[in-house]
Amino acid sequence: MSQAGTSGGGFQLTEALRDSPFMRACRREQVPYTPVWLMRQAGRYMKEYRDVRARYSFLEMCKQPEVASEVTVYAAHRLGVDAAIIFADILLIIEPMGLDLEFAKGEGPVIHNPVRTAADVDRVREVEDVSALDYVYEAVRITRRELRHDIPLIGFCGAPFTLASYICEGGGSKNYLHTKRLMYTDPGAWHALMSKIARALSQYLNAQVEAGAQAVQIFDSWVGALSPDDYREYVLPHTREVIEGVTPGVPVIHFGTNTATLLELMKEAGGDVIGLDWRVRLDEAWARLGDVAVQGNFDSVALFTTPEVVRRRAKDVLDRAANRPGHIFNLGHGILPETPVENVVALVEAVHELSAR
């Protein structure tokens, strides 16, 4: 058995990490200021990222632990954020499942052998052990060593629905036609596919934890395409299985976009922290969710303005959270490629300053 693939027992927290504002917020404890980190904080908007990226393809970057670690650590230290997220991608896990993944120039991800029928689902490989992704765990180990000792490192995976949508569509999608057709016409095959994905994911997250991640985030980026009833029937049990399988004590952030009608159900599926996109008012969403921490929800596009506008809009998010324990500041979705770096730095500074208790 792969050492990295075993679950449990590996979760270690130093005092500095345990008492960090990010980890305290995950547990809904008091904090000296609101912790902030940003989805896609290591990305193309940063010149230093583009310089590295000029030498490697995106997948090569992910598969070379030193390189993945370098961009992870650089972004976190440069921005002064309160958590780092390991540089990787939600789609890496589908390679050992037998799917042929490519990041085509200018097109985003392409899967050359998408799943459309029950027979295709049968051909999807069960990931018996997750050692195929050893390069991710090695990147986590190096990053944990290089990162400031009081900054938590977040591991992550895609949620079963979002991964299934890529597997069925063969890439990004607008209407999720192939995904929903399989779901609606052959629920047995759909659930079989989702179960194969879910089983791989808990192992994958726990291997990241064992390698040195302090928390994990589950990205259900495209789940907002579903009605609440379809979410409950076709998705919720599988997401719940992933979350319940995470090593006890490790905070789980459960994130999605376009989820205004799904928030209560996402909470039912699980997570210590629910990620909110910018389409909802943070205070109203939090009131609906109740006893759980929340993460969000600054509009990424507002970073294309001025430091003054950024500060005013950050204050609005913070005012809605009102210094209640259990708020992690983040964007409503990832940073966009052309974002001016100085506004990102201004955002992090504004959050720290405006939220100081």
Which residues are known to be catalytic? 40, 44, 53, 89, 166
∠ CA 298-240-320, nearest 5°, is 25
Interacting residues with ligand CP3 between 1 and 20 (CB under 6 A): none
Give the interface segment with ligand CP3, choosing from 85-93, 94-102, 184-192, 235-243 (CB under 6 A). 85-93
CA 272 centroid distance within chain: 14
- Find the shortest distance in angstroms from Cβ 104 to ligand CP3: 10
Helix pair 341-355, 307-321: axis angle to 10 deg: 40
Interacting residues with ligand CP3 between 196 and 225 (CB under 6 A): 219, 221
Question: Does residue 178 bind ligand CP3 (CB under 6 A)?
Answer: no
- Find the shortest distance in angstroms from Cβ 349 to ligand CP3: 19
For ligand CP3, the nearest residue by Cβ is 221
> From CA 229, how far away is CA 234, in angstroms rounded?
8
Closest to ligand CP3 by CB, 189 vs 213, is 213
Number of residues assigned to the chain: 357
Among 27, 44, 279, 324, binds ligand CP3 (CB under 6 A): 44
Question: Does residue 39 bind ligand CP3 (CB under 6 A)?
Answer: yes
- Find the shortest distance in angstroms from Cβ 92 to ligand CP3: 9
Contact by Cβ (8 Å): 142, 208: no
Question: Does residue 272 bind ligand CP3 (CB under 6 A)?
Answer: no
Closest to ligand CP3 by CB, 108 vs 228, is 108
Q: Which helix (H) or strand (E) holds 317?
A: helix 307-321
DSSP-based three-state secondary structure for 271: coil
Q: Which residues does 126 contact at the CB level (< 8 Å), separation at least 6? A: 196, 199, 200
Contact by Cβ (8 Å): 302, 292: no
> From CA 42, how far away is CA 308, in angstroms rounded?
24
DSSP-based three-state secondary structure for 167: helix
**Structural tokens at position 261:** 């009608």
- Find the shortest distance in angstroms from Cβ 122 to ligand CP3: 25
Question: Does residue 263 bind ligand CP3 (CB under 6 A)?
Answer: no
Closest to ligand CP3 by CB, 89 vs 272, is 89
Give contact residues for ligand CP3 (rule: CB under 6 A): 39-44, 53, 58, 85, 87-91, 103, 108-109, 156, 172, 219, 221, 333-334
